[in-house]
Amino acid sequence: MLPILIFTVPITTAMQLQLLDISIIIAYLVLTVGIGFWISKKASKNLDSYFLGGKSLPWYMLGLSNASGQFDISGTMMMVAWLFVYGLKSAWIPWLWPVWNQVFLMIFLAVWLRRSNVLTGAEWLKTRFGSGKGGTLSHLVVVVFALVAVIGFIAYAFEGIGKFATTFLPWDLSTNLAGLFISSERMYALLIMGITTIYVIKGGMYSVVMTEVLQFLIMTISCIAIGIIAMHMISAEQIQSVIPEGWKSLWFSWQLDLDWQALIPEVNEKIKSDGYSLFGAFMMMAVFRGILVSIAGPVPGYDMQRVLAARSPKEAALMSGSVSLVLYFPRYLMITGLAVIGLVYFNAEQLMTSTGLDFEKILPFTLSQYIPSGLLGLVLAGLIAAFMSTFAANVNAGPAYIVNDIYKRFIKPDASHKEQIRMSYLASFLVVVVGIITGFFISSINHIFIWITGALFGGYAVANVLKWIWWRSNGYGFFWGMASGLAASLVVPKVLPEASFLISFPIIFVLSSIGSIVGCLATPADDEDILVAFYKKVKPWGFWKPIYLKVLETDPDFKRNTHFGRDMLNSAVGIIWQMSLTVMPIFLVIRENLSFWTGFAVFIVSSLFLKWNWYNKLEKE
C-alpha cells in the first residue's frame, strides 16, 4: 500500500482540465482496476496462469499486448524530442534499442524460444546448460540481470510519468514525508504507479493482457486524432520556415550536419550532449550492436514473457511480427504531430527548467496548449494507458524470476499454488518499491535510455549469442560473460561518466566477450546428452557439427537447420519493412508526398517478399 498522505492542493493556472477530460481519465482508471479484480480468480490457479495466462491467449491478443507494452510514455516523450531536434534522421536512433529485435524474433528466434515450453528465460537455460553447477550459475545470473533490467525500466517509466502528469493534473501534491521533500512530479508518479500495481498484482498476466489490449485501442485512436489535428493546424510552409537545412532528409553523412544556430541555438547544445554529432560512427556502432543484441534474443522481461506465453512456436512468431505491424504507424502519427506543433509554436518558457531547456517536455506542453477538450481527455487516458501498459508488463515479468527461479527452486520447492501466488504478490510489490526508489535518482529519460541500451544490454549480448550458435558455450562461460557484462555496465558509467555510447559500449563489449570465451574454454563442455536434447528440440543454426554428428548416431533421418542465409535475408528485408512503417507517417504529416508513396511502395514489396520467403515457409515447417 502507498502511504496515505494529506495534501494542500491549490489549482494551478497553467493548465485547466475540463470536467469531461477528468471524467474520461477517471472512468478509464476505474475500468482497468476493475478488470484486474474481475479476472483475478482465473489468474490465481497457478504460476503458469499468473505469469503466462495459462498459455491459452491467442497470438493477436499477445501481439497487441506486447505492442501496448512498448508504447511507453517515457519513450514517446523522448521520441518527440528526437524528431523535434533531429528531424527524419531521428528514425535511425531507435536502432540503438534495437527496435528490430522484433524482426529477428518474428523470423526465427521466437520459434526457437517457444519450443522450450518453460515459464521464464532463466528456466529456459536448463534446456541449454542443464542443472549442474554451470547451469545453476547461468540460471542465477539471468535472474539478477532480469531484476536489474526490470528495475531500470521501472525507474525509466517513473521519470517519464512524473514529468507528464504535472503538466496536466491541476493539483500541487508536493509534500514533506518524515522530513523528506517529495515534489509534485514524484507524487503523481507514485500515485499512478500505485493504481497500476494494484491491478497487476491482483490479476497477473490475464489482467495485463486484457487491459493492454484496451489501452492499445485507446492509444491508437488518440494517435490518429493527433496526426489529423496536426495536419489541419500546420502547413508544409510553416514547417519549412522553422527547421534547419537537412531536417527533412532521412539520409546522413559522417557528421550530423544540422545547424540550429539561427533558429534555436539551444538545440545545438542538446545534440552535443546526446553524443550524436558523429552520426555515421553512431550508426555503425548501432548496426553492429543491433545485430548482436537481436540474435542474442530478447532480454528476460515482458517481451520474452509474451513469446513463452504463446500457444505454439508458430503463434510466437506471428505475435512478434504483429508488434511492428500495429505499433509503428499510429505511434509515429502522434510523435510527428506533436513534434511539428511544438516546432511551429515553440515557446522556450514552456520547456525551461532549473537546468535549462528540457526538450522531453515538448509532448506534454504541446498537448496542454493545442488539443481540444474531450479529445484531450481521451489522449491523456491513452498516454496514461501507454505508461500503465509498459509499467504493468515489467511488474508482471520481473517477479516471475523471483518466485519461479529463486523461491520455488531454492527456498520452498514444495510450496502450494496459493503460497506461490501470495509470494508473487509480495515480489511484485518489492520490485515496484525498488524501481521507484531508483527513479528518485534519475534526472533525464534519455540518460537512463542510454544506460539501458548502451551499457546494460551491451553486457548481455555476447553470452547470449554464443548460447545459440556455438555448441562449446557452457553454463560457466555464460555466467562469466553475463556477470562481467553486468558488472561493467554498472561500473563503466561511474568510472567514465562523460564517456559517450561510442566509447562505453566497446569497453563493455570487450569485457563481456573475454568473460564469455575464457569462461567457456577454461571449463569442461556441458553434458553431451543435454546438448543433444537441446539441439534436436530447438534446431538452431550455427557451429553445432560435433553435436549434429552425435544426433545422427541415434536419429539418421534428423535434418539440421540450413536456413541461416534465408533467415538473415528475411531479417534484412524485415528491417526495411519495419523502417517503412516508421517513416511513412512522418512523411504523411509533414506533407512530403513523394517520399510517403515511396515508403508505401517499399512496404508493399517487402511485405510480399516476407509472405513468400517467411510466412509460407513458416506454414510448411
Contacts 24+ apart (CB under 8 A), 165-168: 165/189, 165/192, 167/14, 167/15, 167/361, 167/364, 167/365, 167/367, 167/368, 168/15, 168/17, 168/364, 168/367, 168/368, 168/380
Question: Which grid coordinates are listed for 108?
Answer: 526465427
Asked which of 1-5, 207-211, 480-484 is least confident by mean pLDDT, the reply is: 1-5
pLDDT, residue 442, reads 66
* Range with the largest mean pLDDT of 73-77, 242-246, 410-414, 437-441: 242-246
Output the pLDDT for position 615. 93
pLDDT of residue 550: 94
Q: Is the pLDDT of residue 591 over 80?
A: yes
pLDDT tens across 542-565, in order?
999 999 999 999 999 999 999 999
CA 491 to chain CA centroid, nearest Å: 23
Q: What is the pLDDT of residues 60-78, one digit of tens each?
A: 888 887 787 677 777 788 8
Q: Rounded to two decimals, what is the model's pTM?
A: 0.81
* pLDDT confidence tier of residue 571, bands split at 50, 70 and 90: very high
CATH number of this structure's domain 19-526+560-620: 1.20.1730.10
| Greater model confidence, 262 or 145 | 262
**Cβ atoms within 10 A of the Cβ of 303, count?**
22
Residue 612: per-residue pLDDT: 94
Distance, in Å, from the CA atom of 260 to the CA atom of 469, rounded to the nearest integer, reads 46
Percent of the chain, pLDDT > 70? 81
Structure confidence at residue 153 (pLDDT) = 75
pLDDT of residue 480: 94
In this prediction, residue 150 carries a pLDDT of 78
* 65, 253 contact by CB (below 8 A): no
Phi, psi values for residue 67, rounded to 5°: -60, -40
Beta bridge partners of 357: 352
Q: Which residues pair with 176 in a beta bridge?
A: 181
Report pLDDT digits (tens) over 20-55.
Answer: 888 888 887 777 667 666 665 554 554 444 444 445
Nearest to 313 by CA among 538, 531, 119: 538
How many Cα atoms sit within 13 Å of 18 on the Cβ side? Answer: 11
The domain spans of the chain are 19-526+560-620
Residue 10, pLDDT above cutoff 50: no
Q: What is the pLDDT of residue 447?
A: 62
What are 358-397's pLDDT values in tens digits? 787 888 888 878 888 888 888 888 777 667 666 766 676 6
Cα of 429 vs its chain's centroid, Å: 21
The DSSP secondary-structure symbol of 566 reads H
Instruction: Judge whether 214 and 32 are in contact, CB under 8 Å.
Output: yes
CA distance 236 to 590: 6
What pLDDT digit, counting tens, does each position of 246-291 carry? 999 998 888 888 888 888 888 888 888 777 777 888 788 778 878 8
pLDDT tens sequence across 442-496 = 655 556 666 666 556 667 788 889 999 999 999 999 999 988 988 888 788 778 8
Give residue 530's pLDDT.
92
Q: Quick one: pLDDT at residue 608?
A: 97
